[in-house]
């Protein structure tokens, strides 16, 4: 017997400590339909789909599959019913190959032995059908995120699921890959498969969906026929107000360079190849420079090289007008280098080594000894400063790294040009570099820490958050609350929430708030609005523009051409590890950028820069 609705979710409610994620939600999915689910970050979209896939059990309500009430207690039950899900954060085993991940749990066997070759041909045919360029023998850890996304989709289709859930499937894809995925989704729907599609991107929803259901703060506001609505109405329903889809900005007024890259080359140790070749450019104060390009063409490695996540093979990374507060005494610049303090770490190491062996690591004795060594050394330091005050040589800032956070020196004069390529990640941050990373889980957060600790992750050691040598939890909490309020970070237990339990969008807002709130001279933002709803995107764009208007330099990397054209004052296109074009966003188009991004066109590098 054929049923019009393959899925019916009736009056679903689900609560977690401190938050009601779903509140009496009803939803239907028709056969052969693409049904979009839209809502702000934390509106309950992923929770509702996780209930359908068996990752959570609802507190109230029932689920009907093909007209029959079903108890879906785990993902195996969902798979048995023909329900598959592509998760926002991939569920892949990184040390396995793509093929091993696809067949995991449903391995083809013959006489009790694994026979992956049996399904290899069918998977290769499926890749051709969907235009997926996936190397089935490549390990997941060696794959760019776009290909990992495709492996997740293949894993779902391999199990012959007829009800497909896509949770933010385009968040990590390039514009070209997004277009291909939209075509693939339409093909799957034409074959009779039913698709539930979670997305924040209104243009995608308008392009591919048949109906759209809007959620707000865990409640269902209604279901609309896509052809009868428009992006403005959907954004108003989702956020509860009119949203500025195209941001208005003042004309750029660039000043002196803040960051200069000279002939930079970066070698990727995992791929064992040079990913960035002889790249040169600069970013000026009061300017947003955006690097555009198809994923895998060196943008990630370039940012890794600048921020210290990857070692630089050749070239220079210069941060202009940096600072070093320990060499600034009463605003008198270029005085005596604090030689004793430079040696202090070595002295403390030797003392600690001896003390640990004598006292077998007695913590209180160690702290007692360090305290009096430091008092004596500080006394000698002051004597050295007085003796050499008049005859001091200028400070070589490259030689003596700073250990004072930017928050504590921003009112001091900025001095010196710093070569960052040999400094540690912490030293680069302390010099005045803020970084919103591409992978929020790998480089942005400690998932098992609470929100409060994550917000002060790169400043907890500063005097602002210390009291008598111990971390001041009260100061830390007050600062974290301000960031949470300013950037609308939502979670069940506020700043005490474990970050792993938060939605992906709110995790992203926490990182953006942490980095922007430092007000550093240089902000490096990689996919800053990935996974955010239109209201949050509007807010983040305004914060980035505010940073620019205050005279800070912003280096933006984005795969979203709309975001690139909307925010950038200058666009650089990377292809195959090189800068192949420079554009004024007011005088170019997505089509022209696409030609350079694909390698079909390029300009002379010397003419560009």
Residue with the two structure tokens 């243009």: 203
Residue-wise pLDDT tens digits, 234-258: 888 887 777 666 778 888 888 899 9
pLDDT (0 to 100) of residue 335: 37
Report the C-alpha gap between 235 and 241 in whole angstroms.
8
- Domain boundary residue, one of 519, 542, 568: 519
Inside any domain, residue 393: no
Closest CA to 171 of 196, 200, 197: 200
Inside any domain, residue 245: no
From start to end of 71-201, where are the E strands?
83-86, 109-110, 113-114, 163-167, 194-198
Residue with the two structure tokens 């400043």: 459
The DSSP output letter for 600 is: S
Q: Do 543 and 525 lie in a common domain?
A: yes
- Domain boundary residue, one of 491, 519, 547: 519
Closest CA to 310 of 319, 321, 299: 299
Residue-wise pLDDT tens digits, 62-115: 999 988 999 999 988 998 999 988 887 778 888 889 888 888 877 777 777 777
Tokens of 483: 């960031």
Closest CA to 340 of 296, 378, 295: 378
Specify the higher pLDDT residue, 408 or 258: 258
Least-confidence region, from 243-257, 393-407, 410-424, 531-545: 393-407
pLDDT interval class at 328 (50, 70, 90): very low
What's the count of helices (H) and strands (E) in the chain, helices before strands?
Answer: 19, 24
Please give the helix or strand (H or E) that residue 260 lies within, else none: strand 257-268
Inside any domain, residue 144: yes
Q: Do 10 and 31 lie in a common domain?
A: yes
Inside any domain, residue 191: yes
Q: Do 486 and 545 lie in a common domain?
A: no
Residue with the two structure tokens 């990590």: 172
Q: Do 502 and 539 lie in a common domain?
A: no
Specify the higher pLDDT residue, 184 or 481: 481
**Is the pLDDT confidence value at 534 over 70?**
yes
Inside any domain, residue 420: yes
Tell how far CA 289 is from the center of its chain: 18
Number of domains in the chain: 4
Give me the domain span that covers residue 460: 444-519
Q: Do 505 and 591 lie in a common domain?
A: no
- The CATH number assigned to the domain holding 190 equals 3.40.50.300
CA dist 601 to 32, 275, 596, Å?
A: 40, 20, 5
Q: Do 226 and 309 lie in a common domain?
A: no
- Domain boundary residue, one of 368, 387, 406: 387
Q: Do 219 and 339 lie in a common domain?
A: no
Contacts of 61 (CB under 8 A, 6+ apart): 9, 10, 11, 12, 13, 24, 25
Q: Do 475 and 513 lie in a common domain?
A: yes
Q: Do 581 and 480 lie in a common domain?
A: no
Residue-wise pLDDT tens digits, 280-293: 999 999 999 999 98
Tokens of 249: 């900005």
pLDDT (0 to 100) of residue 403: 40
Tell how far CA 407 is from the center of its chain: 23
Q: Do 487 and 580 lie in a common domain?
A: no
Q: Do 515 and 533 lie in a common domain?
A: no
Inside any domain, residue 399: no
Inside any domain, residue 404: no
Inside any domain, residue 403: no
**Is the pLDDT confidence value at 305 over 70?**
yes
pLDDT (0 to 100) of residue 440: 87
Instruction: Among 244-248, 360-364, 483-487, 534-538, name the most confident range.
Output: 483-487
Report the C-alpha gap between 72 and 50 in whole angstroms.
10
Residue with the two structure tokens 């993902």: 75
Sign, Cα dihedral of 93, 197, 182, 298: negative
Q: Do 112 and 260 lie in a common domain?
A: no
Residue-wise pLDDT tens digits, 553-592: 999 998 888 888 889 999 999 999 999 999 999 898 888 8
């Amino acid at each position: 017997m054929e049923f019009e609705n393959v899925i019916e979710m009736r009056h679903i409610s689900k609560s977690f400590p401190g938050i009601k994620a779903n509140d009496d939600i009803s939803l239907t999915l028709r056969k052969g339909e693409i049904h979009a689910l839209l809502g702000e970050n934390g509106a309950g979209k992923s929770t509702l789909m996780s209930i359908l896939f068996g990752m959570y059990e609802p507190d109230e309500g029932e689920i009907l599959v093909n007209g029959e009430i079903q108890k879906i207690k785990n993902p195996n039950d969902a798979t048995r019913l023909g329900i598959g899900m592509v998760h926002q954060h991939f569920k892949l085993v990184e040390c396995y190959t793509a093929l091993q991940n696809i067949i995991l749990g449903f391995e083809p066997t013959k006489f009790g032995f694994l026979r992956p070759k049996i399904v290899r041909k069918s998977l290769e045919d499926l890749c051709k059908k969907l235009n997926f360029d996936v190397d089935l023998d490549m390990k997941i850890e060696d794959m760019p995120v776009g290909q990992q996304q495709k492996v997740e989709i293949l894993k779902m289709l391999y199990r012959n699921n007829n009800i497909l859930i896509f949770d933010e499937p385009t968040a990590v894809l390039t514009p070209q890959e997004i277009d291909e995925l939209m075509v693939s989704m339409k093909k799957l729907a034409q074959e009779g498969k039913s698709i539930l599609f979670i997305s924040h991107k209104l243009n995608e929803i308008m392009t591919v969906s048949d109906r759209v259901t809007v959620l707000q703060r865990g409640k269902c506001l209604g279901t609309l026929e896509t052809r009868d609505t428009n992006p403005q109405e959907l954004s108003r329903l989702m956020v509860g107000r009119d949203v500025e889809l195209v941001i208005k900005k003042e004309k750029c007024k660039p000043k002196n360079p803040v960051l200069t890259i000279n002939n930079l080359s970066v070698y990727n140790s995992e791929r064992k190849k040079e990913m960035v070749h002889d790249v040169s450019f600069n970013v000026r104060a009061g300017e947003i420079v955006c690097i555009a390009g198809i994923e895998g063409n060196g943008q990630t490695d370039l940012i890794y090289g600048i921020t210290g996540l990857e070692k630089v093979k050749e070239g220079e990374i210069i941060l202009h007008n940096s600072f070093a507060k320990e060499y600034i005494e009463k605003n008198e610049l270029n005085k005596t280098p604090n030689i004793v303090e430079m040696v202090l770490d070595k002295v403390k190491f030797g003392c600690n080594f001896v003390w640990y062996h004598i006292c077998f690591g007695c913590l209180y004795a160690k702290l007692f000894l360090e305290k009096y060594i430091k008092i004596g050394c500080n006394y000698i330091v002051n004597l050295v400063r007085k003796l050499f005050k008049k005859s001091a040589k200028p400070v070589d800032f490259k030689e003596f790294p700073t250990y004072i956070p930017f928050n504590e020196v921003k009112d001091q004069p900025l001095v010196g040009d710093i070569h960052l390529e040999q400094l540690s990640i912490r030293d680069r941050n302390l010099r005045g570099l803020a970084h919103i990373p591409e992978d929020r889980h790998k480089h942005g957060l400690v998932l098992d820490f609470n929100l409060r600790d994550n917000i002060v992750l790169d400043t907890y050691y500063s005097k602002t958050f210390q009291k008598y040598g111990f971390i001041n939890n009260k100061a830390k909490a007050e600062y974290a609350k301000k960031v949470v309020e300013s950037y609308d970070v939502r979670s069940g237990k506020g700043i005490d929430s474990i970050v792993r339990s938060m939605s992906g969008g709110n995790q992203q807002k926490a990182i953006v708030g942490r980095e922007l709130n430092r007000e550093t001279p240089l902000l490096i933002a990689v996919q800053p609005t990935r996974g955010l709803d239109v209201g949050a995107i509007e807010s983040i764009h305004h914060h980035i523009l505010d940073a620019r208007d205050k005279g800070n330099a912003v280096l933006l990397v984005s795969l979203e051409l709309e975001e690139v054209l909307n925010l950038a004052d200058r666009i650089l296109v990377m292809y195959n590890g090189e800068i192949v074009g420079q554009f004024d966003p007011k005088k170019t188009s997505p089509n022209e950028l696409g030609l350079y991004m694909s390698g079909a066109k390029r300009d002379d590098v010397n003419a560009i820069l």
